[in-house]
Structure 1
Amino acid sequence: MLAWTLVGVPALAWALVHVLALPADIGLAIVLCVLAPPVGSAAAMAAMLGLNAALALAATIVISLLALLYLPPIAALIGGSTVQIDAVAMLGRIVAVIGAAAGTAFALRRFAGAFVARNPSAMTGVSVVGLLTVAVGAMHGMPGHVLGRGVQALQLMALAFAVNIGFQLVGFVLFSRLGVADALTVGLVSGNRNVTLVWVVVAPWLGGLPLVEAYLAASVFPIFMLPLVTKMLIARWPTPACRLKPHS
């Protein structure tokens, strides 16, 4: 599962970008998105949906740590002539972002561990609020893009939804043998990536690539909206034996 989420998803995205001969900016944006680890709130989302939160958390932590090693050189490599990325500077930005998150988690566990244990729903709410907060920053250029190029903005949004849904479906199908809940969890972390992390670490090199920034912003919307759709589909699952059970 980790191999698929870490290597398989970006490799498939890279192959599709080249097979479909997508414009360089759009191809770069898609690959950058899926190179990111799963979204930081994946475990909270999985818990809300009754999926395997532990599996989502493990994938998020492991791949986020590995991102320190692979994201800067690969991003610099795929950028090529389209965008010149300083891998060393990018590494520093990733360390700052992940380090801040790790520090916050450590502080909560150290000084408020009992409260967290007694209030899991509150912590889920905090995760959602955090996702909303960072999304506002990630979408900073989207209103202007919508007003200036409405049709293009809608096309980018449709593409972002298609990419997210597509990788969720592929992940679900590939791991369906694990059972519905675990397969849906794999799909969740396959399609929902930490776009904000990518945006933060590559922002200094995207000044001349408005399409890349616009796609990164558009790709945040599916992360918000699709879990609700998934929850509705789970509630209407036709076979009672396949209904999901909350994981402890």
Structure 2
Amino acid sequence: MYVGRILSTLGGQGPILLVISLCAGLLISPFARFGYGLLPFSAFLLTLGSFLTAGLAPSEGSVRLPLIGLVLGWVGLVLPLAAAMLLSFVPLDPALRAGVLLSLLAPPVGSAAAIAGMLGLRPRLALVVSIALTLVTPISIPCFATMLGLGIAFDMSGLAIRLFSIIGAAGLVAFLAIRFHRHLSLVLPDQSAATGIAVIGLIIVGLATSQGIRAQWTSNALRFDVMLAAAVVLNFGLCGLATVTFARLGLQTAGTIGLVSGNRNVTLVWAAAGFGLPSLAEGYVAACVIPVLALPLIVKLCLGLPSFSRFIPQSE
């Protein structure tokens, strides 16, 4: 009973907890090291929490194939290619250009469905899009990187095995948990508790990545501040752009598309490149982690504004 209540509370307070975890890791080094040690386990928690959140979510209407195809094309093709075209006209350091493009080649975060649940959006749509784009990552990232001339080599074979293992294991556990949900009601009483599992994983990510963020800021504070500003503008801008672009589909759908557009799994690209990222590109990817963790809280606050809601149709 207490476990279920704790998980439900974590799920309900997720957006603010993500920001708190990042701040705690930045201010208290032992917290950052503790999170870093648990980082491999966080990927499983994020994916499991997303599967469970989508499985226990209230009916949101069918996730139709045309809509899935539209969102996959927008997130996986339109945004990175449009960014590559725009950046070709901007005098930008090649390493920084690589970092920006890599952040857009990354799939949505594994916790996208759980975050959608926190925000009252469409967890099932977010789950399908994030899982589908994550599964094609071992092929899509190297192909795009070569086509765009990023000059970065990726070791995707080992990462592919880990991704398929994590998604497969999390999917199996989630299936069994939902299948026998009545026997687990004390541990998993509702959708918020399922979201709480992903929140634990996100807290670990917030603590762990703060170590790399601190290192980047310490090495060159001014440069990192500029990259952080660019990352914030890009991530929040993509979220807003997608929400407005698809506003006619309704608040829940448009907000979900905005969420998966701006909330990218940049740590996956970081891991895939290993030590192959130039310092400037690595700094930008590290900066992207901050708006990714802050985005849920910002969106939550915006969705609560009556003036914001009037711009988006409520019906689906």
Pick the TM interval, shorter chain.
Answer: 0.7 to 0.9
Q: CA deviation at 1:215?
A: 1.1
Q: Which moved more, 1:18-27 or 1:212-221?
A: 18-27
Superposed CA deviations along residues 158-182 of structure 1, whole A, max 9, x for unmatched, are 1110110121122112211101221
* Structure-to-structure mapping, 1:140-219, within 5 angstroms: 140-206=211-277, 209-219=278-288
- Give 3-state SS (helix, strand or coil) of 2:275's partner: helix
8 Å contact from structure 2 (residues 108, 261) kept in 1 = yes
Q: Distance in 2 between matches of 1:137 and 1:94?
A: 22
- Give 3-state SS (helix, strand or coil) of 1:19's partner: coil
- 1:118 paired with 2:199, answer no
Aligned residue in 1 for 2:143: 73
Q: Distance in 2 between matches of 1:49 and 1:80?
A: 35
- Give 3-state SS (helix, strand or coil) of 2:193's partner: helix
Q: Distance in 2 between matches of 1:203 and 1:129?
A: 25
Q: Which moved more, 1:192-201 or 1:117-126?
A: 117-126
Q: Distance in 2 between matches of 1:238 and 1:165?
A: 18
Aligned residue in 2 for 1:96: 162
- 1:109 paired with 2:175, answer yes
Aligned residue in 1 for 2:58: none
TM-score for the superposition, normalised by structure 1: 0.86
TM-score for the superposition, normalised by structure 2: 0.69
* Structure-to-structure mapping, 1:122-137, within 5 angstroms: 122-137=193-208
Gap regions ≥5 residues in structure 1? none
* Equivalent in 83, 91, 104 of residue 21 of structure 1: 91
- Give 3-state SS (helix, strand or coil) of 1:171's partner: helix
8 Å contact from structure 1 (residues 41, 127) kept in 2 = yes
Q: Calculate percent identity across the aligned residue pairs.
A: 32
* Equivalent in 54, 73, 80 of residue 3 of structure 1: 73
Q: CA deviation at 1:105?
A: 3.0
- Cα gap change, 1:17 to 1:98, in 2 (>3 Å): farther
Residue identity in the other structure for 2:251: V
Residue identity in the other structure for 1:146: W
Residue identity in the other structure for 1:43: A
Q: Distance in 1 between matches of 2:109 and 2:208?
A: 15
Superposed CA deviations along residues 65-91 of structure 1, whole A, max 9, x for unmatched, are 22232122223443544x3x04xx323
Aligned residue in 2 for 1:45: 115
